[in-house]
Amino acid sequence: MKIKSHDIWVLGEAKPSGELASTVFELSAKARELAVQAELYTGEAHSVKILLIPDAAVFAGLEQAGHYGADKVIVAGCAKSGLSADRAASARVLAFLAEQNRPAVILASATAFGRSVMPYAAALLKTGLTADCTELSIDQKTGLLLQTRPAIGGNIMATINTPSHIPQMATVRPRTFRTPAPETGKRAQIETAHVPEDVAKPAVTTVGFKKFDENDGTPQERDVVVSGGKGLRRAEGFELISKLAKLLGGGIGASRPPVEMKWAGYPHQIGLSGQVVSPKVYIAAGISGAVQHLAGMQTSGKIIAINRDSEAQIFNVSDVAICGDLYDIIPKLIEKIEQRKGGPK
């Protein structure tokens, strides 16, 4: 597929409340930075557009995307109940519109939504996809997108480009880039794009809906994340994790085994098959450090690990390694924090 426009698209995602997720603003700002670089190197003007594939909900305040660098928000005209739950249908919509408009780049956050939709869409478009990027830039000589991500279990950083296929597609770990202060004087244009019914038709039938509580301590957009692993040894251990997270104003995370054992819900799972997080501080309690888990949190600012096993892999990526029983250490840590805050809450 040949390039038709020098657009940089950002795959939109909304919170349950209907507002655009903060990761969309993060990527919009980064896309604007890339557009400026690309124009400088190639002499071609680049636009930043957010593609929003809505469910039956109506989203308000989309013009505010302009505060973070977006020129336009494209709303796919295919609102149907169940579409957001059917990632395959969302991918078909993305691929259909990309084929029509042929943008140069499509970016998405490496959330559960982005990591599900983007690979399928890339396959439909017969192009490549670099997943879980931690840096993006423009090659000065070619104008191509340079996509950098950890490889070989995080031991090296690989920089990848897509010289022969369009669009160039990448997902980015949430909170990888700084979201700038909004430029409130700028507003994005809103455009509706027609999508044929057969393209958007979901194969999933919604039989029920349970509202997601955005205040239940989920880790995706928190500055501090406290995670528990199999080393908690019992479900009640997450009460300690929850108490520490609450004291620190953070979110609750988990490795895969506790989620499989129903000690924690899936929205708290961090790793290749769960959420990708990059908080300022990540506390791992009773987590051994399997590659699958490290892939979801190793870009955190500071990593503090608590484990009884002095040979635990988690210590290899930790800034602070505490070898000991978490049931001795965390209560003392909670006590000290409460003392500093003026007593138990």
Higher pLDDT residue, 320 or 291? Answer: 320
Average pLDDT of span 82-97: 82
Q: Is the predicted pLDDT of residue 343 greater than 70, yes or no?
A: no
Looking at 67-71, 164-168, 229-233, 274-278, which range is the least confident one? Answer: 274-278
Structure tokens at 107: 């970016």
pLDDT band (50, 70, 90) for residue 257: very high
Higher pLDDT residue, 64 or 18? Answer: 64
Structure tokens at 14: 């909304």
Q: Is the predicted pLDDT of residue 181 greater than 70, yes or no?
A: yes
- β-bridge partners, 136: 147
Higher pLDDT residue, 276 or 165? Answer: 165
pLDDT of 202 reads 74
pLDDT of 9 reads 97
Q: Is the predicted pLDDT of residue 274 greater than 60, yes or no?
A: yes
Q: What residue spans define the domains of the chain?
A: 8-200, 224-340
pLDDT of 112 reads 81
Strand 168-172 to 72-77 pairing: unpaired
Nearest to 47 by CA among 12, 72, 22, 11: 72
Q: Which fold has domain 224-340?
A: Rossmann fold (3.40.50)
- C-alpha 26/C-alpha 174 separation (Å) is 8
Looking at 46-60, 117-131, 160-174, which range is the least confident one? Answer: 46-60
pLDDT band (50, 70, 90) for residue 59: low
Q: Is the predicted pLDDT of residue 14 greater than 90, yes or no?
A: no
pLDDT of 21 reads 85
Which secondary structure element, helix H or strand E, spans residue 124, and what is its range? helix 112-125
Residue 27 to residues 58, 137, 220, 283: CA-CA distances in angstroms?
22, 13, 15, 26
- Rounded to 10 degrees, the C-alpha dihedral 80/85/89/94 comes to 90
Average pLDDT of span 114-123: 94
Nearest to 110 by CA among 283, 273, 284: 273
Nearest to 297 by CA among 285, 311, 283: 283
pLDDT of 47 reads 93
pLDDT of 215 reads 54
CB atoms within 10 A of CB 30: 25
Q: Is the predicted pLDDT of residue 13 greater than 90, yes or no?
A: no
- C-alpha 176/C-alpha 113 separation (Å) is 17
pLDDT above 90 coverage of the chain, percent: 54
pLDDT of 162 reads 92
Which secondary structure element, helix H or strand E, spans residue 148, and what is its range? strand 145-151
pLDDT above 70 coverage of the chain, percent: 89
- C-alpha 222/C-alpha 252 separation (Å) is 9
Average pLDDT of span 232-255: 93
Strand 105-109 to 224-228 pairing: unpaired
pLDDT of 96 reads 95
Q: What stretches of 164-210 adopt beta strand conformation (E)?
A: 168-172, 189-194
pLDDT of 68 reads 92
Q: Is the predicted pLDDT of residue 4 greater than 80, yes or no?
A: no
Angle, alpha carbons 234-345-330 (nearest 5°) = 35
pLDDT of 283 reads 97
Q: Which CATH class is domain 8-200?
A: alpha beta
Q: What is the mean pLDDT of the chain?
A: 87
Strand 48-52 to 8-11 pairing: parallel
Q: Check whether the bond before 196 is cis (ω within 30° of 0).
A: no
Average pLDDT of span 36-50: 90
pLDDT band (50, 70, 90) for residue 20: confident
pLDDT band (50, 70, 90) for residue 345: low
Average pLDDT of span 164-171: 94
